[in-house]
């Protein structure tokens, strides 16, 4: 389930980046690269300040992009962290179980050795 959520959130994030790029290209008249760069810098909260929306629509769009984008970016980071943590917990549990089985097998082997081959 978590993998599906991560894929959905990453696809949503890619859609937001794409829509932001198209929006700034047409509203602000920036090149495609500048529009993409501004969108990614804004979503990552870096904000270099080299590009700043000049129109009222661009400023409102930036505000919406920040709120929507940050929510999705935070959700992606949270889900990736949760997914990674759950996988590490499962791996640790599997290792503990394997060690437990190995210890039981060793005990059985010692018990059989103590009884001898005729037992």
What is the value of pTM for the model shown? 0.69
Average pLDDT over residues 55-81: 92
Model confidence band, residue 117 (pLDDT cutoffs 50, 70, 90): low
Question: Count of alpha carbons within 13 Å of 33, Cβ hemisphere only?
Answer: 0
Number of domains in the chain: 1
Q: Residue 62: exposed, middle, or buried by beta-carbon count in 10 A (0-12, 13-18, 19+)? A: buried
The pLDDT assigned to 76 comes to 85
Distance CA 54, CA 69 (A): 20
Domain extent at residue 54: 2-115
In the chain, % of residues over pLDDT 70: 96
Quick one: pLDDT band at residue 62, thresholds 50, 70, 90? Answer: very high
3-state secondary structure of 114: helix
**52 membership: H or E segment, kind and range:** none
What CATH number did the domain enclosing 87 receive?
A: 1.10.287.70
Residue 2 has pLDDT above 80, yes or no: no
């Amino acid at each position: 389930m978590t993998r599906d959520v991560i894929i959905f959130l990453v696809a949503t994030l890619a859609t937001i980046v794409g829509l932001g790029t198209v929006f700034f290209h047409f509203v602000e008249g920036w090149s495609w690269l500048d529009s993409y760069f501004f969108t990614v810098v804004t979503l990552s909260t870096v904000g270099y300040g080299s590009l700043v929306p000049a129109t009222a629509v661009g400023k409102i769009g930036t505000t919406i992009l920040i709120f929507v984008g940050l929510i999705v970016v935070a959700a992606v980071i949270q889900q990736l962290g949760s997914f990674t943590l759950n996988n590490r917990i499962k791996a640790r549990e599997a290792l503990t179980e394997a060690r437990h089985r190995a210890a039981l097998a060793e005990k059985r082997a010692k018990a059989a050795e103590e009884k001898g081959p005729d037992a």
